[in-house]
A and B are shown apart, each in its own frame.
Chain A
Amino acid sequence: MGAANFVAIEARAILENVAVIRYAVAAVASQLPFTIPEIEEIKVAVSEAVTNAVVHAYPGEPGVVRVRVEVDDRELTVTVEDDGVGIEDVARARRHGWSSDPERLGMGFYFMEEFMDVVEVSSAPGQGTRVTLRRRPEQVAPSAAEPSATVN
């Protein structure tokens, strides 16, 4: 892994953009030695965070969702931020099986927590929501300093 990298996306908070953001995050995450199943899990976590911003943050006209993806030499950090209605009770929203909508599973935060190492949520009514997701690859990147073949 070389120098740290980041990509920032500002998108209209509509469902069409959830997949766009998911792909972008997966592409940046691939710069770390994540396995394919790990990348799939990261995609689910990001999908949950961005879908929440699209579905819950803006009850009227869609607003904006901002996503920043960062990698350094060992960790992926994804920040998903909106300027929407905010979450009144963050602890309740994070509880497994709780949803404000009966058609929904209420497992969004559960998946984020299962698939990421760290999930931080910062929100207040009328103040928008910021979700920060962090994950490190299970396997260690091969070191460039180690020779890949021996000479006899």
Chain B
Amino acid sequence: MIRLQGEFDEQAADRFRAHVDAVLEQGGIRDLVVVMRDVTFIDSSGLGALLGRYKRLQALGGRVRIVAPPRHVRAVLELSGVPKLIPILRSERQALDAG
């Protein structure tokens, strides 16, 4: 589970990619939950970084889920079509309950 805070633009996307990929390199993780409750902004760079990790984990038989994006962030997610691939959940609890 990774908690993002602030603005998910290209600068943050670079850090997100580096961080998540470093963890994935260590192996053993196939299920990524991205908590977006405190994300205040997202553009196509942030979406691209999410989709990139989705492709990587999908190739490993894993999955990615998004938790609790604020309304305006969710609107950008919906417009991009990303939720068709990466489900949006209401809470961390829902992610954990779903295993």
Does A48 reach chain B (CB closer than 8 Å)?
yes
Report whether over half of chain A's contact residues are helix, strand or loop; otherwise say mixed: helix
The interface residues of chain A lying within 8 Å CB-to-CB of B90 are none
Of B22-30, B75-83, B91-99, the one contacting chain A is B75-83
| Given pairs A43-B41, A111-B79, 6 additional interface contacts (CB within 8 A) | A15-B11, A47-B43, A51-B43, A103-B48, A104-B44, A105-B47
Question: CB of A19 within 8 A of chain B?
Answer: yes
Q: Does A9 contact B (CB under 8 A)?
A: no
In the complex, which residues of chain A have a beta carbon less than 8 angstroms from the beta carbon of B14?
15
Q: Could you tell me the distance between the alpha carbons of A62 and B1 in the complex, rounded to whole angstroms?
A: 35
- CB <8 Å contact, B75 and A37: yes
Partner of B10, one of A15, A36, A37, A40: A15
Interface size on B, residues (CB 8 A): 21
18 inter-chain pairs at a CB distance below 8 angstroms, sorted by A residue, are A15-B11, A15-B14, A16-B11, A18-B9, A18-B10, A22-B41, A36-B72, A40-B72, A44-B41, A44-B76, A51-B10, A55-B10, A105-B44, A105-B80, A107-B48, A108-B43, A111-B44, A111-B79
Closest-by-CB residue of B relative to A51 is B10
Kindly list chain A residues whose C-beta atoms are within 8 Å of the C-beta of B41.
22, 40, 43-44, 47
Residues of A within 8 A of B (CB): 15-16, 18-19, 22, 36-37, 40, 43-44, 47-48, 51, 54-55, 103-108, 110-111, 114
Contact, CB under 8 Å: B9 / A51: yes
B48 near A48 with CB under 8 A, answer: no
Contact B45 A51 (CB under 8 A): yes
Task: Output the least CB separation between B86 and chain A (Å).
Answer: 13
Instruction: Please tell me if B7 contacts chain A, counting CB pairs below 8 Å.
Output: yes
Q: Which residue of A lies closest to B82 (CB)?
A: A105
In the complex, what residue of chain A is closest to B72 when comparing beta carbons? A40
